[in-house]
């Protein structure tokens, strides 16, 4: 069941990060009690935000649909517990780093009464793929690895390609984060059955569950679950513990030995990747009727008193979660949603925990500011880049705003993993610079497109004006010739008709 590690592809570069997961994995997942208020942002997923279908004052039940998917790529939002909708208003959210976004606020009544299911639960083997896709869409399932792409759409788009493998991503290579590890340890069966549901929906026969080799308990739990279900199609593959082997393109490279083409997706090389948490969420919805209303989150860092993993209802504020685990330590200075390499620091702990919140990291020290030195061209950044880019050259061209060179040196392929930042002896904030360079490139591309359009319209107009002028001149010449042919009598006729006295001195 557990595939040996030597038949993996190779990953260039990467770093061995300090693991820092011992404290948070020392105890089982704790359950955060239902808070007094749940704040549910309408935009918890990639694509168009959902639009609310409840009104203020309305009573809602746990699992009830409160906001519907809107547009081609979107996902619905469900109430995480029963209560009354007291507001639909702006609230600070982590997606906007503490700035406001529209949210539905529910005051919980504590009863946690679940909504009745609209249809009975059917064993998933009896459902066709299209039905499954619709159900997954309706359940609000999105990618829980961080990208929160609506799972139903990912599955539906994938069926148009030649797929060979389903890969469940349980790699979790970033320091501190251990939510997927604990999920696999405690709910391995949910992950495995989730894999079976996805295999059935995609009509595939191969599934790899990729787990890093520093998670032996999770690997054992999965192996035990696989022994129980006796499913030959699913195998666990161990990945070496190097960051960023858990990034989607990198997992594909390691497991299938194929490189995802630039600008493409894993489905271009026959592979569909889902996070293990997403698979468990699919299981919960299809087999138990519970939509995505809770998730496992790691709460850790030296800014909290007791690091641990918790499962909490979506919409619980970070403040409530931290309160539950024991509160902040005196040194808490930075609140980061996500991991230390790719996470975002937010300004307030009033932000709610959303579908994307895999980690709440509270740190005591802030990065040293103002210590940036000139690049000494040591080349260490190129050594660790998993995409084989040359960050020192990209940095040069980003400073020079040279869009053409940035494109040809592959800036758009940068996965923003942060490895180059960590090894730079001059402490240059490379990833942040690349992010702004990408924005700038997009701006410039847009400007160029606008300029091209304007130029095209201007040229078309110039041609049109010239043509009209030419036509007018030709018509005039024709008229003149006709009049000449007709002779002087014709001019007099024209003048009589128009009622003007004949004579000389008429100007054209």
Nearer to other proteins, 9 or 240 (CB): 9
Number of residues that bind other proteins (CB under 8 A): 86
Residue 492, interface with other proteins (CB under 8 A)? no
- Residue number with CB closer to other proteins (47 or 303): 303
Q: Report the distance separating Cα 100 and Cα 83, nearest Å.
A: 23
State the nearest-atom distance from the C-beta of 483 to other proteins, in Å: 29
Comparing CB distances to other proteins, the nearer of 10 and 498 is 10
Q: What residues pair up with 211 in beta bridges, in sequence order?
A: 170, 238
Among the listed residues 41, 291, 340, 352, the single contact to other proteins using CB under 8 A: 340
Residue 290 φ then ψ, to 5°: -100, 115
Q: What distance in Å separates the CA atoms of residue 49 and residue 51, rounded to the nearest whole number? A: 6
The minimum distance between CB 422 and other proteins, in angstroms, equals 5
Q: How far apart are CA 194 and CA 141, in angstroms?
A: 12
440: left (phi over 0), alpha (psi -120 to 50) or beta: alpha
134 binds other proteins (CB under 8 A): no
Q: How far is the CB of 332 from other proteins (least distance, A)?
A: 7
Q: Is 326 one of the binding residues for other proteins (CB under 8 A)?
A: no
Q: What residues contact residue 367 under an 8 Å CB cut-off, 6+ apart? A: none
CB atoms within 10 A of CB 182: 25
State in angstroms the smallest separation of the CB of 325 from other proteins. 14
* 342 in contact with other proteins (CB under 8 A): yes
Closest distance between other proteins and the C-beta of residue 286, in Å? 34
Among 64, 238, 267, 431, which residue interacts with other proteins (rule: CB under 8 A)? 431
Strands of the sheet containing 77-78, edge to edge, are 51-52, 65-68, 77-78
Concatenated DSSP letters of 429-496: -HHHHHHHHHHHHHHHHHHHHHHHHHHHHHHHHHHHHHHHHHHHHHHHHHHHHHHHHH-HHHHHHHHH
Question: Looking at 84, 200, 220, 427, which residue binds other proteins (CB under 8 A)?
Answer: 427
Residue 273 makes CB contacts below 8 A (sequence gap 6+) with 167, 168, 169, 248, 251, 252, 266
Among 30, 37, 134, 383, binds other proteins (CB under 8 A): 383
- 319 is an interface residue for other proteins by CB under 8 A: yes
Please select the residue that binds other proteins; options are 97, 305, 491, 495, rule is CB under 8 A: 97
- Token pair of 438 as six digits: 């990408």
Q: How far apart are CA 144 and CA 191, in angstroms?
A: 13
Q: What does 271-312 look like in DSSP terms, one character per residue?
A: EEEEEHHHHHHHHHHHHH---S-EEEEEEESTTBSS-EEEEE
- Whether residue 364 contacts residue 332, with contact meaning beta carbons closer than 8 Å, is answered with yes
Nearer to other proteins, 18 or 504 (CB): 18
**Which secondary-structure segment (H or E) carries 396?**
helix 391-400
Question: How far is the C-alpha of 40 from the C-alpha of 32, rounded, in Å?
Answer: 17
Quote the CA–CA distance of 334 and 449 in Å, as a whole number. Answer: 41
Q: Does 392 bind other proteins (CB under 8 A)?
A: yes
Footprint of other proteins on 442-471 (CB under 8 A): 447, 450-455, 457-458, 460-462
Instruction: Please give the backbone phi and psi of residue 311, each rounded to the nearest 5 degrees, phi first.
Output: -110, 125
Q: Please, which of residues 212-231 interact with other proteins by CB under 8 A?
A: none
Asked if 434 interacts with other proteins (CB under 8 A), we say no
Determine phi and psi for 66, rounding to 5 degrees: -115, -15
Q: Does 84 bind other proteins (CB under 8 A)?
A: no
Binding residue (CB under 8 A) for other proteins from 429, 438, 440, 491? 429
In terms of CB distance, is 64 or 393 closer to other proteins?
393
Q: Which residue has the tokens 């064993």?
A: 123
- Least separation in angstroms between residue 268's CB and other proteins is 10
Among 324, 328, 397, 434, binds other proteins (CB under 8 A): 328
List of residues 6+ apart from 20 with CB closer than 8 A: 175, 176, 300
Identify which of residues 140 and 303 has a Cβ nearer to other proteins in the complex: 303
Of 167, 418, 434, 441, which lies in the binding site for other proteins, with binding defined by CB under 8 A?
418
| Contact string 174-213 vs other proteins (x = CB under 8 A) | -x--------------------------------------
Using the minimum distance from each CB to other proteins, give the nearer residue, 233 or 440.
440
Closest contact distance (angstroms) between CB of 394 and other proteins is 11
Q: Is 31 or 448 the residue whose CB approaches other proteins more closely?
A: 448
Q: Find the part of the chain contacting other proteins (CB under 8 A) among 71-79, 199-207, 423-431, 470-478.
A: 423-431
Using the rule CB under 8 A, give the single segment among 50-58, 335-343, 485-493, 494-502 that binds other proteins.
335-343
Among 31, 257, 331, 377, binds other proteins (CB under 8 A): 377
Q: Which two tokens stand for residue 219?
A: 């690997």
Those residues whose C-beta lies under 8 Å from the C-beta of residue 266, and which sit 6 or more positions away, are 167, 248, 249, 252, 260, 272, 273
Residues between 250 and 309 with contacts to other proteins, criterion CB under 8 A: 253, 259-262, 264
Report 350-369 residues binding other proteins (CB under 8 A): 361, 363, 365-369
Q: Is 18 in the site for other proteins (CB under 8 A)?
A: yes
Of residues 238-257, those binding other proteins (CB under 8 A): 249, 253
């Amino acid at each position: 069941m557990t595939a040996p590690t030597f038949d993996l592809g190779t990953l260039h570069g990467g770093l061995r990060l300090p693991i820092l997961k011992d404290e948070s994995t020392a105890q089982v997942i704790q359950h955060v009690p239902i808070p007094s208020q749940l704040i549910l942002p309408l935009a918890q997923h990639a694509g168009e935000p959902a639009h609310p279908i409840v009104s203020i004052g309305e009573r809602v039940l746990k699992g009830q649909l409160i906001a519907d998917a809107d547009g081609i790529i979107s996902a619905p939002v469900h109430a995480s517990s029963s209560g009354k909708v007291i507001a639909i208003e702006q609230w600070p959210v982590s997606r906007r780093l503490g700035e406001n976004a529209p949210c539905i606020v529910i005051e919980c009544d504590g009863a946690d009464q679940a909504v009745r299911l609209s249809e009975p639960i059917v064993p998933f083997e009896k459902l066709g793929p299209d039905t499954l896709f619709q159900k997954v869409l309706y359940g609000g399932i999105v990618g829980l690895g961080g990208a929160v792409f609506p799972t139903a759409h990912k599955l539906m788009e994938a069926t148009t390609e030649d797929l060979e493998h389903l890969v469940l991503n349980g790699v979790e290579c970033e320091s501190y984060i251990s939510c997927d590890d604990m999920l696999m340890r405690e709910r391995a069966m949910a992950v495995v059955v989730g894999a079976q549901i996805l295999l059935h929906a995609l009509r595939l026969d191969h599934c790899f569950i990729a787990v890093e080799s520093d998670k032996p308990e999770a690997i054992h739990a999965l192996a035990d679950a696989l022994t129980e279900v006796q499913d030959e199609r699913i195998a666990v593959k161990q990945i070496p513990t190097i960051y960023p082997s858990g990034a989607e393109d990198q997992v594909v490279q390691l497991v299938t030995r194929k490189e995802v083409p630039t600008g493409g997706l894993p489905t271009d090389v026959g592979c569909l990747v889902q996070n293990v948490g997403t698979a468990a969420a699919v299981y919960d919805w299809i087999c138990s009727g519970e939509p995505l209303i809770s998730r496992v989150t790691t709460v850790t860092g030296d800014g909290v008193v007791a690091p641990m993993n918790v499962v909490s209802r979506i919409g619980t504020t970070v403040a409530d979660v931290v309160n539950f685990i024991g509160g902040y330590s005196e040194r808490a200075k930075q609140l980061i949603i996500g991991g230390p390499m790719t996470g975002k620091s937010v300004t307030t702990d009033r932000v709610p925990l959303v579908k994307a919140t895999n980690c709440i990291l509270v740190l005591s020290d802030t990065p040293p500011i103002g210590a940036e030195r000139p690049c000494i061209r040591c080349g260490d950044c190129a050594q660790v880049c998993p995409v084989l880019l040359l960050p020192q050259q990209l940095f040069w061209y980003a400073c020079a705003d040279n869009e053409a060179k940035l494109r040809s040196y592959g800036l758009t392929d940068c996965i923003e993993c942060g490895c180059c930042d960590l090894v730079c002896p001059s402490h240059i904030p490379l990833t942040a610079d690349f992010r702004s360079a990408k924005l700038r490139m997009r701006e410039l591309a847009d400007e160029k497109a606008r300029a091209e359009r304007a130029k095209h319209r201007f040229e078309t107009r110039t041609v049109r004006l010239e043509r009209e002028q030419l036509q007018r001149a030709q018509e005039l010449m024709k008229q003149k010739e006709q009049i000449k042919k007709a002779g002087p009598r014709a001019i007099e006729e024209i003048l009589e008709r128009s009622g003007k006295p004949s004579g000389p001195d008429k100007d054209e």
